[in-house]
Chains A and B, each alone.
Chain A
């Protein structure tokens, strides 16, 4: 075995250089960061187990699984985002490598199929006064506060790249999950879209 431990690399590690970029005429309109310590897993209900799954999740994690495009929060940093009929993305703040799948699988055995996706998605956080304006340059959905509020989620695209977006707070702040192999192109697009407003990139952000 090699002498040193295998080093982990975050999807945007080499790309998301911290600093202030784009227009500098005013305060940065867009804040960008990567969330690197969150565990993700796909959860899909087994056949005819939907009701039992919802009940089991409620008792095990303290939250119902959303049945429309929303994010629900459970105990201990767990949350669930709707990802299609009878499908969710489970998220665990500060999730250790490989930590989320066994935790869910134990409680949901026979009720749901659980697949670790912690490495399959990059999660980018975008906030700031001009975040909506920047996202409007690539995303076709309406993010206006009357149409999309904290906790709302959507499966959509950003400049030809499939993404999963949910709103975190009213600042507004959003999180966007992007397939890992696309994250370079995604970051390129997002920073191009944000440059007009000036953006501040911080390398990583804590998931909570």
Chain B
């Protein structure tokens, strides 16, 4: 579902059922389901299971609403004390109701039941309990709570230190874990996608809908995201009238219009979880989380990178719990959640209720409870005269109003009663039997995304809440997220923000007509904790952080909010303190007698809600982590049974095994021997290839390479050495001159991109005045190296007859254009890395497959063998050529014995810095060869030590860089970097390798073991 066309809302407006309930009887199947109302589909019953027991729910339910409909109140155990927990909220802020969803490889721990969309066959189990949710042995932890308060593991498990990793940590993790990961590879796929828009609207409540509508009508490209599986936000959960219609119905007509606008894309089940620079937002779309298994070709989840010119944050607000004794008992619920279960899900979360609030939100809760036929035992409000509207509402439904506070909840696995202390008679405790307590401590705007780029939220005393501070560029905030509480304010704020955002993008928006809405009280008086509390008073439900823990942190000096968070774990874990943070820091402010702004808030960081790592990885896993490059001859090599190795992104043939080989070494030896005695062929298409043209191309190369290139005659090739600015060797390769103003350069496979980048920098920044143009042709040419005494004979069968490639006409280091196979253009270079008579032949890549087959066919009577990287490496070691192990970024031309190549007649990059005194020091490790004179293996990385010297860094004289068994010579041959270098030929040293437990006697020698006169390559 990537474009707007497939995102039509599931229902047209008229299909929204009326919401307002009159006293309705529970249905037989689900005892707490109201007979009418809500936006659940009673014609679509769904079966699901929780802890192995089957229940019935309806399409449109969340797991939480379906459990409540079945009277299930106890859904989990708390993190540390294993206290019985129920459902606190109705949205993504839920701290308690975490379950393991699905089974087997798809098992997903810590899923919030309040956002898990019900589907047929959904299977969930409770977490963090043993042996059962009802009887949890670990609940004994509660008895130890005096010693396992905040920071207990910092204090308790100090000694002995070695016990931490082996004993204490595993023990704590077992006792205080949450869910279990599947432990198997995830069978589903995840993907990433990019989206662009003029206006991104985050949240589809009243403000978000109006913003999207205003911007969409103006013609702007709009993306509307909501984390819920239905658009509408609180409009679905409230029982209000807009323009004389139930608000959910009214939302339906807006959604229908939005869906009809071609440039409005609506993404539901999509949480915008992060705000980044330049208007980039990350969102996670739960494409198939509401299905038992994703349909074929459907990703499970998709991460969106949304690039928005403007953004309207309309993420609403999160209700705060009140902090009193045992406020975590199942049945204690947020007031707004109670209304959501009643109005949206048609579920009674209890049968006898008490309402406890410090703000006017209680009015709606009281009326909705009464309308659903739930008897309200009492309405408790700590405010006096200010609570007038609440008192009036209580009176209207015949409920007793108490000016006071709930001090303690009673009950264990479910709420049985609440103890209330009235302001008038604090010595006289009132007890109200109930199984539902609807509480509200006020609403905290969801400012998270406004703060991801560093803007600190600001405290509003009037609202008793943080509102957004300095905003990310391009963002505006509307509705409850901006502290615009009240439906009318949300609608107006959203419409204004949407119109302004569209206007900023060049789309003139007409004012959206404001619908008629009744008045709404939003008064509040802060109440951060009930001081007369009895029992544990939880601030952070998910982390079992109580008021006592905050008091302890204060006493022990962890008073700064970020310290408070780390010391007590307040605001950590999957909910990141959505319901807890403000209460926690406000209590700390009280304890330290500071204001809330002076106390500050912890920093908000992405993600807003948990995002699976798998979704962030998308398709980029296993072999798809990065692209793979294949040469034109790859299919042929595969047919030969080649074993491939990764070199950068490339796959290259390492060796070609044959039946009867004992190891790779047999194959390697065979390939070397065939090449030395007859002929071998190797795919070198992976070399970096660069085409240079222009009148200054020669001059450009002179400045890039340490040796001269402008003096190279047309039709000749030259080995080239390129230094870095700091004088160390960057890369080696070959330069061939194809015409006066036309060169062809090869680089090593590993440094191809780096050399190209270096050239681009040098041309664009250092010498833009030079007339030189260059472009990578690495992919244009397939290139093969033919090496061995019979190489020319093979080549003569391939190259068209008019081209004379005899030793006289085409000598060592010749380069030129030829044709092969009857007119196919090709380039031929007489270059040798192996030390044999050798050529490299390039053909356009489309002929790469055919040419390698033709080469092998032509060479078969002469004993040709393909050879891989192992044989290539052995032959270059035998010949004493430097490779990647020697050009390691720490060696100069002098170190590598290549100082003869360095021109003294011209300037070039690296010349000055290579002359620094330390780089000319006589005892710098320099390039040598060595032979083994002891018995025992030698590996690269072994250190050279004087015979008899103590193995210490002080006595270290260099190291082995490359070593191989030479089938040609019948012994080990090695290369290394040794202090003093070639001055020490003939000396005996030790190759000391403590990592592999080896210590072998060697003799220093010339690095050129094979054909030192170079007769073979000129043959």
Contacts and interface: CB of A to CB of B under 8 A. Distances in A.
Contacts of A47: 694-696, 769-771
Interface string A127-162: 000101100110111101011000000000001110
Given A46-B771, A120-B845, A181-B779, A196 B694 contact: no
Given A140-B194, A140-B305, A192-B619, A10 B846 contact: yes
Interface string B777-792: 1111100000000000
Contacts of B694: 46-47, 113
A182 B629 contact: yes
A44 interface: yes
A98 B773 contact: no
Interface stretch (B174-182, B293-301, B384-392): B293-301
B286 to A, nearest CB: 15
B780 A119 contact: yes
A3 to B, nearest CB: 9
Contacts of B824: 6, 97
A188 B624 contact: yes
Main secondary structure of the interface of A (DSSP, over half): loop
Nearest to B846: A8
B771 A159 contact: no
Interface in B850-907: 850-851, 854, 857-858
Given A146-B221, A181-B650, A7 B850 contact: yes
B631 interface: yes
B279 interface: no
Contacts of A182: 627, 629
Contact of A9 (B193, B776, B846): B846
Contacts of A78: none
A136 B2 contact: yes
Interface in B598-623: 619-620
A22 interface: yes
Given A6-B847, A46-B694, A159-B627, A23 B779 contact: no
A173 B733 CA distance: 42
A121 interface: yes
Contacts of B620: 159-160
A94 interface: no
A142 B307 contact: yes
Interface in A80-134: 97-98, 112-113, 115-121, 130, 132-133
Contacts of A196: 2, 297-299
Contacts of A11: 845-846
Contacts of A66: none
Nearest to A23: B297
Contacts of B139: none
A144 B221 contact: yes
Contact of A136 (B194, B629, B801, B857): B194
Interface in B622-647: 624, 626-632, 635
Nearest to B189: A192
Most-contacted residue by chain B among A5, A112, A132, A185 (CB, 10 A): A185
Given A46-B694, A185-B627, A196-B299, A121 B779 contact: yes
A161 B627 contact: yes
A32 to B, nearest CB: 15
A2 interface: yes
B512 to A, nearest CB: 23
A29 B359 CA distance: 54
Contact of B693 (A8, A113, A130, A144): A113
A161 B619 CA distance: 14
A189 interface: yes
Contact of B825 (A46, A98, A133, A184): A98
A179 interface: yes
B647 to A, nearest CB: 12
A160 B627 contact: yes
A1 B800 contact: yes
B191 interface: yes
Contacts of B191: 137, 192-193
A2 B846 contact: no
Contact of A132 (B3, B691, B779): B3
A14 interface: yes
Nearest to A8: B846
B849 interface: yes
Contacts of B131: none
Contacts of A44: 693, 773, 775
B821 A160 contact: no
A42 interface: yes
Nearest to B296: A23
Nearest to B631: A181
Contacts of A192: 191, 619
Given A185-B627, A189-B619, A9 B221 contact: no
A147 B775 contact: no
Contacts of A141: 194
Nearest to A97: B844
A195 interface: yes
Given A7-B850, A136-B195, A189-B619, A115 B775 contact: yes
A88 to B, nearest CB: 11
B797 interface: yes
Which of A11, A44, A137 gathers most chain B CB within 10 Å? A137
Interface in B171-219: 191-196
B635 A6 contact: no
Contacts of A22: 297
Contacts of B1005: none
Given A10-B846, A120-B780, A160-B627, A5 B192 contact: no
A117 B630 contact: no
Nearest to B851: A6
Contact of A117 (B780, B801, B822): B780
Nearest to A49: B771
Nearest to B782: A119
B820 interface: yes
A174 interface: no
A2 B854 contact: yes
A44 B72 CA distance: 73
Given A130-B2, A137-B192, A8 B850 contact: yes
B821 A6 contact: yes
A186 interface: yes
Contacts of A46: 694-695, 771, 773
Interface in A29-82: 42, 44-48
Contact of A180 (B305, B695, B843, B845): B845
Nearest to B848: A9
A42 B692 CA distance: 12
A8 B847 contact: yes
Contacts of B800: 1
Given A119-B844, A180-B779, A193-B191, A186 B857 contact: no
A188 B622 CA distance: 14
B972 interface: no
25 contacts: A1-B797, A1-B801, A2-B857, A5-B821, A6-B851, A7-B847, A7-B849, A8-B847, A9-B850, A10-B846, A11-B845, A44-B773, A47-B695, A115-B775, A116-B844, A117-B777, A118-B780, A119-B781, A119-B845, A130-B2, A144-B196, A159-B627, A180-B780, A185-B624, A189-B624
The 4 A-B pairs of least Cβ separation, nearest first, read A120-B780, A185-B627, A133-B2, A113-B693
Interface of B: 2-3, 191-196, 221, 295-299, 305, 307, 619-620, 624, 626-632, 635, 650, 685, 691, 693-696, 769-771, 773, 775-781, 797-798, 800-801, 820-822, 824-825, 843-851, 854, 857-858
Given A1-B798, A160-B626, 14 more contacts: A6-B821, A7-B847, A7-B849, A44-B693, A46-B695, A47-B770, A47-B771, A119-B845, A137-B192, A140-B307, A141-B194, A142-B307, A159-B620, A188-B624
Interface of A: 1-2, 5-11, 14, 22-23, 42, 44-48, 97-98, 112-113, 115-121, 130, 132-133, 136-137, 139-142, 144, 146-147, 159-161, 179-182, 184-186, 188-189, 192-193, 195-196, 198
